[in-house]
Each structure stands twice: as structure tokens, then as C-alpha cells.
Amino acid sequence: MHNPLPRPLIALLRERRGPLSVVLVVLLIAVGFAALHRLTAALRLQDILAAFDAIGPRQVVIAIGCTIVSYLALTFYDLLALRIIRRPLPWRTAALASFTSYTISHNLGLALITGGSARYRVYTAAGLSGGDVARIVAIASATFWMGVLAITGLALAFHRGGLSLAGLVLGGTAVQVAGGAILAATAGFVLACAFGPRELRLSGWTLPLPDAGTALGQIAVAGIDLAAASTALFVLIPGADPALLPAFLLAYALGIIAALVSHVPGGIGVFEAVVLATVPADRPALAAALIAYRLIYYLLPLALGIVALVLHEGRQRRLGRAIAGVRLVANGLAPLLMGVASFLGGAVLLLSGSTPAVPARLHSLHAIVPLPFIEASHLAASLAGTGLLLLAPGLYRRLDGAFVAARALLIAGAIFSLAKGIDYEEAIVCLAIAALLQWTSPAFYRTTAFVSRAFSPAWLVCVAAVGGLSLWVGLFSYKHVAYQNALWWDFALHGDASRYLRASLGTAVLLAGVALWRLFAPAAPRRDRPSLPAEVSDVIEGAERTDAMLAYTGDKRFLFSPGGDALLMYQIRGSSWIMMGDPVGPRAAWTGLLWTIRSMADTAQGRLMLYQISSDMLELAIALGLQIVKYGEEAVVDLESFSLEGPRMRSIRQTVRRAQREGATFEVVPAAQVAAIIAELAAISDEWLEAKGQREKGFSLGRFDPDYIARFDAALVRVGGRIVAFANIWRTANGRELSVDLMRHGAGSPPGVMDYLFASLMLWGRENGHVRFSLGLAPLSGIEAHRLSPLWAKAAAAIFKRGERFYGFRGLRAYKEKFAPVWEPRYIAAPHGLGLVRALRDLNLLIGRPRATAHRVPPPTPYVDRPRLAA
């Protein structure tokens, strides 16, 4: 099928999908608030406040009861999901994960990022894998949507009369037909669960499916949840007619669907607009009910959850100080929860600045405080709220500077709230968050580098939502005030509209200033050195493996042991600190080196990945708390027994003889003489790259750089005196291991020239006393997938089996198998869950898009990290 979009445009959209997603959601936020503004054009703030005051204690108690029922039903989403994936856990564990996840995602939206993170922390601590958590999230989401569809179908099927929504009018028959179709689809799903397959397979990933009874249970649980949640809103509408409940249930379901589809954080504006547009009730009463509903169903559970969990983790920290101290909190939910709390505290201050002050309080305050102080406090409170929005990501990343600044802004926000209108409610919220922040202070231990990290798209969307809400609330509150330029300079006791304008301007200026600061901040300077440090060559002299020669490629950083006799090589890409191979040097120094780089990565808010490590490293990698993933197998030929004789080497023997008949000769050129032939080798390299349609890679592979190539001996194949193929030779100083890095040939080389080069080099190595020859890695080789294998193993096996057209996995192993090697496993060690996926993404960029330039330009020079280590 022809794609109507040109390829460059598709590539640009893929590359910029993050910023474009943010722009799209921000536009949806704007559309939602525009619709809300239009629907409330005829309403007055006084009418809404009067309707809010009319909500009685009995209604509030019933709404709280319905909220409790709804959140209890939500815990069964996870309990049923655990049952479906056959990983049962106690109800209290499922309840903790569910409650934490939904209280955060209900308020911030973006459930996979916010709620998924909370679920991951709880369930991995209970022994589940990242794949299990992903299955729970998928099944819980499916449960919710099954309930939404069932409720929507029932409401449509039993709805009497037509339906009008945003200008779209459906007749009564069309509404009932739509409801019947949705119910039929729901029933079809249950039948499929009864008679269909027991699991869903997708690219090696399996998702267990429920049986018919469990599917009905999911629909029932989701129905109870939605019925209770909608009832919590319905009972808050003053004077609501019970006969409106079926129509209201439909409007509620449509509002939920619109909020989820839009991805607007918390559905702010979108949910309210849909409910106001579809429910035939008194508009001021409905608006007041929506405000009360936000407080009871969204913010109250979040506040209770944050307080309970933070106090729980703080108590753990104090009880476990002797054995674990900071880690109990740092590995828990405190940073996530306090980041959310700080964000909501900032939102409270901004919304408070957008609404009029209570006149009686303002008069009492003016009796003891001069007007300029009130005006300044109003602006300062809004700026403090904006600062808390900006600091929330820093708290999530456990930054000490963000902790100190957020605590100061919360205290300042409380003081300014009292000084601008005796707003003690806002002051209590700020001081409570500050106290909880102090309680969890050991969780924020990372050195501040706040401005060096990009703000995430999810955070940008949340800031846009709060900013839009604050702006709309102010416009609604003061729409009776005619705009005049003089409002900006009107300083009066009852000049609430003027204070709102100045606070909004101050907030916008602060946000714009931060954006410009980030945009024009200078890039971090490169730490170049004039040449490779001499210590590197000294350590490499004692290497036992030839892959230590990757230290000379010019794209590595180095970390040395205190004695200078061992090193590890690594590079940073994005947030990933990627170590290449095993450390080089005495094994007694490996433990200290690994814990040092682990600490460096954690302090820098990064993730550590160990790439292509051997079995000797597994125990240390496990001690570091990393997940072990088999990456492939290395082919190693025993040179002491290597020979071209025998039936197994028949094809190699025939290739060698054919090459010799066509005039091919083999020779090894010492490193001192390579510079004289570098131009010929460069021409072959360029020809090979062009013929293969490839570009130079990096990090785990060398690239053609004259200085790098001239450092090593070169294996050449000549035909008629002309070089047609070459490889640079790696060998350890003790002569034990021999290998090659770059292997390239020209268009005029005889068939099988690389087989001839390898066989000749192995025979040469045997004659010169080398013990083993490394043919390098066969990625994804030797990984078996069974029904109970982890997700990564199934995915790797599927790629190895079916991904030949993207990369010759099977062909590469088959080629190396011709030389009768012994296969030795190689591994990756990385964080669990999404950390592994992100580290693999950064690894792919590091290898496939090296920042070093082509061979005609000298490569970047590595630098050396020398932290002070304890001996």
C-alpha cells in the first residue's frame, strides 16, 4: 500500500514525535478549556459558590462512601490481573499497588508513566518481573475499558429519546442501536474468552487471557467501580432528580472516555466540559458538584495515600537505619509521591492566586498589614507555586537541591498565603507537604544537576494543564470586570482582578525565563586530552583478552583502580552509563571499580549497563542489583589443535586452495610498516562501506582511523601484488589470544577471500605460539525460549529466528561455525524493567551513531575519570 506521506516527512515525524505529542496534548488542553469557557459563559462565580454551599454534609458523606467503594473495586482490577497471569499475591499488596497507581494517575493522567511507575515499584519489590507488571497494567486497563463499554452500552440501550453532544445529534433509534452494538461486542469478548485461545502472542510476548467466568468478573468489578464513581458525583448535585441517573451515567461514561482519549492530565477541562454539555441539570449546581467531586474523589484519596505511604516509608527508614538507612526510602515511593505532592502544592498556590480573596479576611488583614505587603505577597505566592511546578521533576529524581528549594518554597508559600488574604487552607496544605518532605529527607541524596536534564514531555503537559486551569479560573472569576490598561497599575484592597493579572504575568515571565535559560544554556564542554593517557597502555599490556584493545578506539572514558593497575572503559549516552566488556587488570580490583562506577552513575541520575561481559562478571553484576540478560555467544578457536585437515574443515580447505590458485597470498605487516600502506587500506575500506551501504560504527567496534589502524599489525591478502583485503590484528601481550577487529575487502578480491584470510591468520597464530583465536560475538545466539522463559529470552529467540532480513543473526553464527569454535556466553547486565529497554536504546545509538568522525578527521580523545577510591 502506497504511503501518501513522503519518507523525509515520516522520518521527521518519528524523530520529533516527543515534542509533537506535547504540542498535540497542549492543544487538546486548550480546546477543553475553550469549550469549558463557552459552556460556563452564562454562569457567575457567586452562583457556583452558592450552589457549593448548598451541598450538605449528608451528600458529602454519601459521596465519600461511594469513593471508598470505587477505590475498593479498583483493587480487584489488580487482584484479577494477578490471578489471570497466575502470579497470586496477597490482597494487601495488590491494594497498595492499585491505590497508589490510581490516586496518582487519576490526578496527573498519563497512566502508563505515572501509575505504571508506582505499580512497578510495588510489584517488583514483591518478586514480580517487569514483564509481569506490564501484563498487570495491560489486563487492568482492559478491565476498565470493558466496564466503560458495558456501562456505556447499557446506558445507550435504555436511553429514551435522542442524544445531543457538541452539535452531534443522534435519534432515539440510533442511540439504542449503538448501545446494542456495544453490548454485543462485549458479549462477543466473553464468548471469545470461553472458546478462544488462552493467551495472546505478539512478537514473542504473551498475554494470558481470562476464562469466561473471570471475564464476567472483570466486567462486574469495573461496573461497580464506575457506578460508585458516577454516583459520588451525582449525589453532590444539589436538588438532582433521581430520574436523571441513567442519562447522567451515560454522560459520565462519555466524559471518562473523552478524558482518556485526549491524554489531558487528570482529564482537567475535558471531563467537565463533556458532563456540562450532556447532563440536563442546573448549570451552577452541576459546576459546584464537579468541583466538590474533584476534591473528594481525586484529591482526598491522593492526599491520604501520600501521607500514609510517606509516613510508612519514613518509619521504615528510622527502624532500619542501622542496616539500610537511606536505601529503604530511596528505593521506595517517597520521591515519586513527594514530586506529585510538590506539583499539587504549586497548583493550589496558583489557583488560589486566580480566585478572589474572602472579603472579611482581607479587611482583618488590612487592619494590621499595609496594602503593598498584601500585593507583594499575592505575587510572591503565585511565583512560589510556579517554582514548585518546576521543582517536582527534581524531587522525583531525588536531587538534594530540589529538596532544599522545594522545602523553602513550601514554607514561603504558606507565609505568603497568610499574608495575601489569611488563606490558612493553602498554608496548611503547604506546611503539611513541607513536613512530609522533611520526613523523607534521606531519599533526596543525589548531587544537584537540575538544569542539565531535559524536562520530560509528561511533565511539560502537566505544567501546561495547571497553567491553563489557573488562567481559565481567573478569567471565569473576573469576567464581570471590564478589561482596562489601568488594571495593571490598580493597587487597591479589593483589586483582586488586578492582582490576578500581575500574578499571571509574573508566572508567565518566570516560565518563559526558565524556558529561555534552558534553550540558550551553553553545552557542556568536552573534556579532551591531547593524547591517550600512558596509564591505559600500561594496563592493557597485562590484558588477558583481545577486546581490551577497544581502549584505543578513541571513544571511551576510563576509570582506574586506586593502584593504577586496573581499569574499566565506558561511555555515557543519554542517561545510560555503558561499560564495555570486563574490567582489565587483576580481578581483585574489579569489585571496587564496579561499585565506584555504580555510585557515579547513580549520583549522576543515570543507569548503569554492563555490555558483553563474561561469566566471570555475573556474581558482581548480581551484587550490583542488575538484571542479567544473555546477549549472545563468542566463537573461540583452539589454535593449538587447529588444522585444515579433516571432514569438518573441508569447505574452508577448498576455499583456501581456490584462493591460492587465483594468485592470492597472505602476509602479516608489522605495525611499524602499516603507515606506508594506509592509503591503499583506506581505499579498500571506503569501497567496502559503499558496497555494503553502511557507515562506520563505534564503541564495541573499531572504525577506520589512520592512527588507530597503524597501532596494530595488519593481515593482508594480495592478488598480483595488489592488496584486496585486510584486517587489523589484536593480540594480547602474553601471546595467549589473537583476534581481528576491522575486516574489509575490495571488489576485485577472489570469492571466499575472508575465509582465506581467517584460515591463514589462524595458521600463522598457531605457528607463532598463540593459544586461542576469537572470531567475535554472534548476537542473540544460544538463547532458548520456552513457555516459562522470561520475556527478553522469548523476544531474543524470536528475533534470532525471524529477523534475518534485518540482520544476519543466523548467517553470522553459521559462518563462524565453519571454523569449529567453542562457544562462550556473553551477557548484558542492566536495570530491571524499562531501565533495560532505555539502556538498550542508548547502546544502539552509541554503537550505530558514534560521535567520532570519519577516518579523515582525527577521532575525539578519551578522558580519564580518577575518583578518589578507598584502597
pLDDT 10s digits, 714-725:
999 999 889 999
pLDDT at 447 (0 to 100): 64
- Cβ proximity of 78 and 132 under 8 Å: no
Domains of the chain in sequence order: 56-236 (no CATH), 634-833 (3.40.630.30)
List, in sequence order, every beta strand (DSSP E) within 133-259: 163-165, 168-170, 199-202, 205-208
- Cβ proximity of 352 and 423 under 8 Å: yes
Q: Determine the average pLDDT of the residues in 690-702.
A: 81
Closest residue by Cα to residue 417 from 443, 381, 447? 381
- Neighbouring CB atoms inside 10 A of 109's CB total 25
Q: Determine the average pLDDT of the residues in 676-689.
A: 90
- How many angstroms separate the Cα of 816 from the Cα of each of 625, 636, 731, 808? 34, 9, 19, 12
pLDDT at 847 (0 to 100): 80
Interval 66-117: pLDDT, tens: 999 999 998 898 888 888 888 888 888 888 888 877 877 776 655 555 556 6
Q: Determine the average pLDDT of the residues in 700-708.
A: 86
Interval 125-177: pLDDT, tens: 777 877 788 888 888 888 888 888 888 888 777 766 666 555 556 666 777 78
pLDDT at 865 (0 to 100): 47
Interval 237-296: pLDDT, tens: 877 777 777 778 778 888 888 777 766 666 777 788 888 877 777 888 888 888 888 889
Question: Regarding predicted confidence, which is higher, 224 or 451?
Answer: 224
Coil, helix or strand at residue 204: coil
Under the banding of pLDDT at 50, 70 and 90, the label for residue 330 is: very low
In 488-610, alpha helices (H): 496-520, 534-540, 590-603
Spatial neighbors of 301 by CB under 8 A, at least 6 apart, are: 67, 71, 99, 103, 106
List, in sequence order, every beta strand (DSSP E) within 518-642: 557-560, 567-573, 576-580, 607-613, 627-638
- Cβ proximity of 442 and 329 under 8 Å: yes
Under the banding of pLDDT at 50, 70 and 90, the label for residue 492 is: low
Under the banding of pLDDT at 50, 70 and 90, the label for residue 762 is: very high
Position 327 pLDDT exceeds 50: no
pLDDT at 321 (0 to 100): 42
Q: Determine the average pLDDT of the residues in 557-569.
A: 89
Position 384 pLDDT exceeds 60: yes
Position 577 pLDDT exceeds 90: yes
Candidate from 37-41, 83-87, 342-346, 360-364 with smallest mean pLDDT: 37-41
Position 635 pLDDT exceeds 80: yes
Position 385 pLDDT exceeds 50: yes
Coil, helix or strand at residue 631: strand
Question: Regarding predicted confidence, which is higher, 603 or 61?
Answer: 61
* Nearest-angstrom CA–CA distance, 98 and 96: 6
Please provide the DSSP assignment of 596-612 as one string.
HHHHHHHHTT-EEEEEE
Indicate the residue type of 554: G
Q: Determine the average pLDDT of the residues in 509-516.
A: 67
pLDDT at 803 (0 to 100): 43
- Cβ proximity of 60 and 296 under 8 Å: yes
